[in-house]
Structure 1
């Protein structure tokens, strides 16, 4: 974990991770779905609730409520399992993800719906689509 990073149970975090050298791996829809599968596995196992996410071509944003464990353990799990599956599916070798990740703890007064909309609107701001419904690799519990 980064110096000063502290994870609290039941706290909401915005997590961001980039692919190695910002390679646009997730332009391939099927490979992006692998990451989403890992997000859902984490939720099914009671580690964290996925509140919103978007898988962009070269990075992910994931809004979660952490239930147990640390952010480092969570991201290590998601990144390692998704990398293994993606490398097998795409005939890749080596690292998929940049080391580390960015996290932001949200305060209670932060507007979660606003943050979720910010996360899922990334494809619009990046000019990948003209309507959010046209981008396939996102979800949010409020929308």
Structure 2
């Protein structure tokens, strides 16, 4: 079986399903872990892209945090939508607005199957900048969103 030698991005796709109305936690990383989003304008551009996808009803954003070299994004997948296509759109649109290829191929996703798991996942996401030592309190970090606040 070739799975062991397949690129990591190929292994990430194995078994992936898209269920409209399902809540997903997606994590994706910049190419070579470059700290693209240390730049304020770049972080703003990605936040605008995610909010635009919400306005188009491709997703309903529940929570996200843009870290210097990766994104954690919790959302409900829109009706008749494909998870991979939505993530590809987010990556392509943000890369285009920043003038180049910034993302590594693939992404990690986890379907949140129980309602009681949604808020802990959101808390984990929002606390990322604190755990990384970027800020002491989340209100000091510019690139996050949570629908509950």
Q: TM-score, normalised by structure 2?
A: 0.88
2:101 corresponds to 1:71: no
1:53 to 52, 64, 86: 64
2:109 to 100, 103, 110: 103
Q: Distance in 2 between matches of 1:33 and 1:12?
A: 24
Give me the CA root mean square deviation. Answer: 1.2
Partner of 1:16: 27
Partner of 2:133: 127
Do 1:18 and 1:58's aligned partners in 2 also have CA atoms closer than 8 Å? yes
Partner of 2:119: 113
Q: Distance in 1 between matches of 2:41 and 2:127?
A: 21
Partner of 1:3: 14
Q: TM-score, normalised by structure 1?
A: 0.91
Moved over 4 A (4+): none
Specify every segment of 5 or more residues in structure 1 that has no aligned partner in the other structure, as ranges: 88-92
Q: Distance in 1 between matches of 2:69 and 2:115?
A: 31
Do 1:113 and 1:142's aligned partners in 2 also have CA atoms closer than 8 Å? no
